[in-house]
Amino acid sequence: MQIKPRQHLLDIWQAMARHSFDDGKLVRGDTDGLSSVADAERLLCLLYPATEVPAFRLDQPDTTERDVLRALDRVGSRLEIPPNLIAALTQFMRTHTGTDDSPTFSGGHYFRPSEPGGTVSHEQRQLGVVDSYSMSVTLCLATLGFLKVYEGTTTRPEVLKAIAELREATNDRLTAAMVSLLRSFAVNVFDSE
């Protein structure tokens, strides 16, 4: 039995692109907007390897390898992939932002009623979960790394504007996720009297 990690990752990317992208645009899935965890996981399937493994880089279009381009042909061409990822990430940030412009970390479909036949209210589905906080930290760090490198390779004004907007939203989400993680594990000690 041969283990081919590169081919396995390319197969995952191809399946993810086939499921999530149509003509370079992120398509809404069954859980879109309902669970920030599932939406972040979907984007991390692409972005995490692309920012951590040099052979899978997407932030320098001139160095993107052919097999990577074949796997991601639904996301776009060599020059289209980075702007299309920026658009997908921006869509994620907007979808998971509340009416008060603060990031949301809803668990969505992760919540189930404790009793058979019970229901989970919309307010309960909107509760933040630790998984979402931790996924958001990883996604935001990968996004910021991607933007830092890609910004130096493009001169298109509309893309530079989109990068600036996404960077601001990503910084806000990263801060909110880190604060929420801290609050999730903080213990306040008080006297019993």
pLDDT one-digit tens code per residue, 111-138 = 888 888 888 888 888 888 899 999 999 9
Decide if pLDDT at 191 tops 70: yes
Question: Once rounded to an integer, what is the mean pLDDT over residues 99-107?
Answer: 91
Question: Once rounded to an integer, what is the mean pLDDT over residues 100-107?
Answer: 91
Please list, in sequence order, all residues whose beta carbon lies within 8 angstroms of the beta carbon of residue 68, skipping any fewer than 6 positions away.
10, 13, 55, 56, 58
**Banded model confidence at residue 192, pLDDT cuts 50, 70, 90:** confident
Question: Once rounded to an integer, what is the mean pLDDT over residues 66-82?
Answer: 96
pLDDT one-digit tens code per residue, 8-23 = 999 999 999 999 999 8
Q: Which sign does the torsion angle of CA 67, 18, 41, 115 carry?
A: negative
Question: Once rounded to an integer, what is the mean pLDDT over residues 159-174?
Answer: 98
> How would you write 135-169 as a 3-class SS string?
HHHHHHHHHHHHHHHHHCCCCCHHHHHHHHHHHHH
Decide if pLDDT at 88 tops 70: yes
Q: Which of 90, 78, 70 is nearest to 25 (CA)?
A: 90
**Banded model confidence at residue 75, pLDDT cuts 50, 70, 90:** very high
**pLDDT > 70 in the chain, percent:** 96
pLDDT one-digit tens code per residue, 29-64 = 665 557 888 889 999 999 999 999 999 999 999 999
User: Diameter of the chain by CA atoms?
Assistant: 69
Q: Which sign does the torsion angle of CA 25, 30, 36, 41 carry?
A: negative
**Banded model confidence at residue 97, pLDDT cuts 50, 70, 90:** very high
Tokens of 138: 């990883």
Q: How far apart are CA 162 and CA 165, in angstroms?
A: 5
The pTM assigned to this predicted structure is 0.89
Q: Which of 35-39, 83-87, 186-190 has the highest mean predicted lDDT (pLDDT)? A: 83-87
